[in-house]
Amino acid sequence: MSSMINFGIDLGTTNSLIAKFDKGNVEVFKNPKGFKESLPSVVGFRNNRILVGDAAKNYVERDAKSVASRFKRKMGTTETLKIKSTGDSKTPVELSSFVLKELKSFVHSGESVESAVLTIPASFDTVQSNATKQAGIEAGFKQVVLLQEPIAASLAYANKANSEDLRNSQWIVYDLGGGTFDVALVKIIEGELTVVDHEGDNYLGGSDFDELIVEKLIVPALERQGVFEDLIGELKSETGKYNQIWFRLLEAAEQAKVELSTATSTDIDLGMTDLEDDEGDLIDSLITITRSEFEEVIREEVDGTAEMMKKIITRNSLQPSDLKFTLMVGGSTLIPFVRSRIEELMGIPVNVSIDPTNAITIGAAYFAGTKQKEIMPSDSNIFENTRNIKVKAVFERNSQDIEEMFNAKINGDIDGLFYRIYSEDGSFDSGLKSLANRISEDLPLREGAFNHFNFQVVDGQNNPIDVGFNSIQIAQGRYSVAGQVLPEDISLVKDDLNNKDTLLDCVFERNCVLPTRGKRTVEVAKTIAQGSDDEVKIMVVEGPAARHSTTNKQIGVLSISGEQISKDLLKGTEIDLIIEMSESRDLTVSAYLNGTDQEFSQVFQGTKRLVEPKILTTEVFQLEDRIQVEMEDAASHNKPEVVYQLQKLLKEANSLSAETTDLPMDDVTDDRFKLEDKKRQLAQQIYQLTSSKRLDAAKLEYMEAKEEVTRLIRENGNDHELHQLQEIVAREQIFIHSASPEKIEAPTAELHTLGFQIRWRMPEFLLGMFEYLKERRISMNDQSYAKQLFESGHRAIENEAWDDLRDINGMLWELMPETERPAEDIQMFTGIV
Ligand code: ADP
Ligand code: MG
């Protein structure tokens, strides 16, 4: 049995396929029923039977409400699809798992598929990716590795016979399928394929074209023949009068669209003899559409895809001539207009040399051929690693040579242990050798092949020991994948006390290669009493880190409550965090509490996102308000260009608001997710436009703080403090030109702390603070204790006992309820107003 995963699956919105890598070749399996390679991603429920694929697709005619399709678009949402025949609901994850189970039945070799590479659009976020993985697990896979579709497509092309030499080149993958659009900039660097950048839209694809045909061509044609008050509304809403024919119209539209890829005109016969208008008059259901009518209807969408390509090209400072070609994949690139229009608009040759419908599966299988199975043998003859052996291996995973050097550093108790490296096919065997702290071995490679060697550590009795590293894979003369990349920044949300806001601390940058890991130290913002239900929350979000946290999506929250801690967690205590993301995007957040010596860890495999029309509507209202406020602010600061931009955004917000208000609560389309995406984009634009305001303020505040602290140090500082100041000023060139205010606010906060530290030693400051506290004594928590402290304070002042006064001030400060400590007061104490 091979120790590689070998199976690759394209779990598509519209069609799914399965293929297997075997000794350098890939076979795409055919459906034993009908002998087609692709399985429609459609699931139907007929009495007690579950229908998958064509059977389900055909069943739509009989009972559309018991058939689910296009659920990949809802991956990662909490939405469930109601099944009429069974009366229950199915999640997108469950439905996908049915498709995956059906695909397993295509594998005629009789072997069971235990692990597989599943592909996802490059634009899938963490929640959507995890939902996909979950579907694989529910389908019975023990291991699921995710691969981004543009990489899979590129692998299919790169590994194809007579493909152009791609070394040191770059190209665009244009994937227009049924429900998602992905465009990716891909490069090969030293034999490794890497996605350099990507853009995408999870709500754009061939099924939108089908909807457009219905809305823009079929519905108007029907309306011309009869009297309908709101045909579109009645079609789309679940309770609508014509909702039962909505899916039938989509089917007919798709068929016409496919025909128009080869014909210039086609007839749509809805095949209904009983279609009536609102007044009960019969309507003729035969409609003719032409290719040019169809092209007109989709032109805007296609042009939109070109815009996304241009965005990537500009963002990466490239010219169209820098790109080798546009690799066309996805069924919708079979539309002649899509090919010609993209070539015309972009000025880059389109490459249509791979089958756009199965390229992704083939690429996934190539990748699976290089991926080690991680399922541990269940037998117990592997000994536990009680000797703490750690292996750090260094070798080229891709080689153009016929021999590669394998090196490894071994840590732990290696005494009396041996190692052996041998190839699967028996062509190489190092024999047993004594394990040393450093080992190295020349490995001979088979040409044009994926070479695999086992690495084994055994004790004196030849018992294998699990050292967490057991295989060496080297692709010779082939291209492979550098690694999964992160589609968005991943950040930690921190409190921003100065602005009573939050700020983002980017832990992993967009496009970094997974798996990855980062460390951070944060401070507890307020004391958490042991046993109380107060909590420390550590929040991790996904989205552009230079923006505000509200424009990001939450992907993990680790909460530690008073009930879980062994003693009080004092304000200011440090928490050491380790944040990890696996290749398959499991997020692990581990926290070590210095104060209580406790450790907490949680894995997040978020698989759902919630979008409620009601909440969405409220959020859009809030955005409208925010724009109004910002507009007034910009006007009063005499910034007409900002006002003008905001006016444009307000218009967008108004129309978005109208759309969200119109959303039926039982909306059956993807509209709410599209609108939620739009809302986030709008929030980002508003933030971008107004952040310059905060940026100016941040710069000014930094300069003032620097001046103030320099003066304080000159008058009262010590060498250590002077050194701290110099250290901050030395970094100034890096942060002062930053586009994000947070980057400037952080050193400003350091200056404030430094200033506070110095003032804290100065009698005038301590006196002033004492007076300030006295004015607020009524609000203090423990009145009689406060009284005592004030008396001691007066004595300390008489005796000029400044150290005592400092302690007393500190204790009084603690007696002030948190709500009584507004930010201006902090500023007063730091002396910077
Ligand atoms: P997905 O990746 O979403 O599963 P596919 O790559 O299988 O999608 O593409 C499916 C889409 O391609 C469907 O919308 C289908 O209507 C469309 N399609 C397939 N063949 C053709 C064709 N010959 N002409 C136009 N569109 C086509
Ligand atoms: Mg696809």
User: Alpha-carbon distance 818 to 234, whole Å?
Assistant: 55
Q: Contact, 236 vs 249, CB < 8 A? A: no
Q: What is the mean pLDDT of residues 271-278?
A: 78
Q: Is the dihedral of CA 713, 719, 720, 722 positive or negative?
A: positive
**Residue owning the nearest CA to atom 11 of ligand 1:** 178
CA angle 681, 682, 688 (to 5 degrees): 90
Distances 134 to 95, 128, 490 between C-alpha atoms, Å: 11, 10, 21
The rounded mean pLDDT for the chain is: 86
In this prediction, residue 467 carries a pLDDT of 86
Is the model's pLDDT at 672 over the cut of 70? yes
User: Alpha-carbon distance 555 to 544, whole Å?
Assistant: 14
Is the model's pLDDT at 498 over the cut of 70? no
Q: State the pLDDT confidence band at 68, using cuts at 50, 70 and 90.
A: very high
Q: State the pLDDT confidence band at 504, using cuts at 50, 70 and 90.
A: confident
**Residue owning the nearest CA to atom 13 of ligand 1:** 178
Q: State the pLDDT confidence band at 202, using cuts at 50, 70 and 90.
A: confident
For 118, how many CA atoms within 13 A lie in the half-sphere containing its CB? 35
For residue 146, report the distance from its CA to the centre of ligand 2, in Å. 14
Q: Contact, 631 vs 647, CB < 8 A? A: yes
Closest CA to 197 of 302, 75, 367, 323: 323
Is the model's pLDDT at 635 over the cut of 70? yes
Q: Contact, 445 vs 420, CB < 8 A? A: no
For residue 38, report the distance from its CA to the centre of ligand 2, in Å. 11
Q: Judge if the beta carbon of residue 361 lies within 6 A of ligand 1.
A: no
In this prediction, residue 286 carries a pLDDT of 86
Name residues whose C-beta falls within 8 Å of residue 468's C-beta, 6 or more positions apart in sequence: 385, 390, 391
> Phi first, then psi: what are they for 280, rounded to 5°?
85, 5
Q: What is the mean pLDDT of residues 179-198?
A: 81
Is the model's pLDDT at 337 over the cut of 60? yes
Cis ω on the peptide bond leading into residue 487 (within 30° of 0)? no
In this prediction, residue 377 carries a pLDDT of 46
Q: Judge if the beta carbon of residue 206 lies within 6 A of ligand 1.
A: yes
Is the model's pLDDT at 770 over the cut of 80? yes
Is the model's pLDDT at 183 over the cut of 90? yes
In this prediction, residue 735 carries a pLDDT of 83
User: Alpha-carbon distance 194 to 663, whole Å?
Assistant: 40
Q: What is the mean pLDDT of residues 441-468?
A: 86
Q: What is the mean pLDDT of residues 639-643?
A: 86
Q: State the pLDDT confidence band at 822, using cuts at 50, 70 and 90.
A: low
In this prediction, residue 190 carries a pLDDT of 65
In this prediction, residue 500 carries a pLDDT of 56
In this prediction, residue 299 carries a pLDDT of 97
pLDDT tens, residue by residue, 214-250 = 999 999 999 988 888 888 888 888 788 888 788 889 8
Task: Indicate the SS3 state at residue 59.
Answer: helix
**Residue from 258, 298, 302, 337 whose mutation best tests the ligand 1 pocket (most atoms within 8 A of CB):** 258
Is the model's pLDDT at 439 over the cut of 60? yes
In this prediction, residue 832 carries a pLDDT of 36
Q: What is the mean pLDDT of residues 693-717?
A: 87
Is the model's pLDDT at 702 over the cut of 50? yes
Closest CA to 740 of 490, 505, 539: 505
Instruction: Estimate to the nearest angstrom the gap between the alpha carbon of 700 and the chain centroid.
Output: 35
Q: What is the mean pLDDT of residues 728-750?
A: 82
pLDDT tens, residue by residue, 581-610 = 987 788 899 999 988 889 998 888 766 665
User: Alpha-carbon distance 335 to 261, whole Å?
Assistant: 5
For residue 427, report the distance from its CA to the centre of ligand 1, in Å. 45
**Residue owning the nearest CA to atom 24 of ligand 1:** 258
For residue 356, report the distance from its CA to the centre of ligand 2, in Å. 9
Closest CA to 663 of 672, 655, 654: 672
Residue 78 CB neighbours (<10 A) = 13
Lowest average pLDDT, out of 294-303, 308-317, 433-442, 791-800, goes to 308-317
Closest CA to 471 of 451, 444, 453, 447: 453
Ligand 1 atom at minimum distance from 357 CA:
6
Q: Judge if the beta carbon of residue 257 lies within 6 A of ligand 1.
A: yes
**Cα dihedral 27→32→35→38 (10° resolution):** -70
Task: Indicate the SS3 state at residue 398.
Answer: strand
Considering only the C-alpha atoms of the chain, give the largest distance between any 2 of them, rounded to a whole number of Å. 104
In this prediction, residue 55 carries a pLDDT of 93
Ligand 1 atom at minimum distance from 14 CA:
4
User: Alpha-carbon distance 627 to 164, whole Å?
Assistant: 52
For residue 250, report the distance from its CA to the centre of ligand 1, in Å. 13
Kindly report the pTM of this predicted structure: 0.65
> Phi first, then psi: what are they for 519, rounded to 5°?
-120, 145
Tokens representing residue 223 in the block: 């309306």
Is the model's pLDDT at 640 over the cut of 70? yes
Most confident of 367-381, 503-517, 622-636, 686-700: 622-636
Is the model's pLDDT at 364 over the cut of 90? yes
Q: Judge if the beta carbon of residue 525 lies within 6 A of ligand 1.
A: no
**Residue from 118, 202, 264, 332 whose mutation best tests the ligand 1 pocket (most atoms within 8 A of CB):** 332
Tokens representing residue 533 in the block: 């239900």
Place of tokens 């993807």: 670
Helix extents (H) in 166-242: 206-212, 219-225, 231-236
User: Alpha-carbon distance 70 to 673, whole Å?
Assistant: 14
In this prediction, residue 608 carries a pLDDT of 63
User: Alpha-carbon distance 18 to 381, whole Å?
Assistant: 34
Is the model's pLDDT at 831 over the cut of 50? no
Q: What is the mean pLDDT of residues 47-75?
A: 89
Most confident of 95-104, 232-241, 663-672, 749-758: 95-104
Which position has the higher pLDDT, 253 or 516?
Answer: 253
pLDDT tens, residue by residue, 241-261 = 888 788 889 889 999 999 999
For residue 675, report the distance from its CA to the centre of ligand 2, in Å. 23
Q: What is the mean pLDDT of residues 23-36?
A: 88
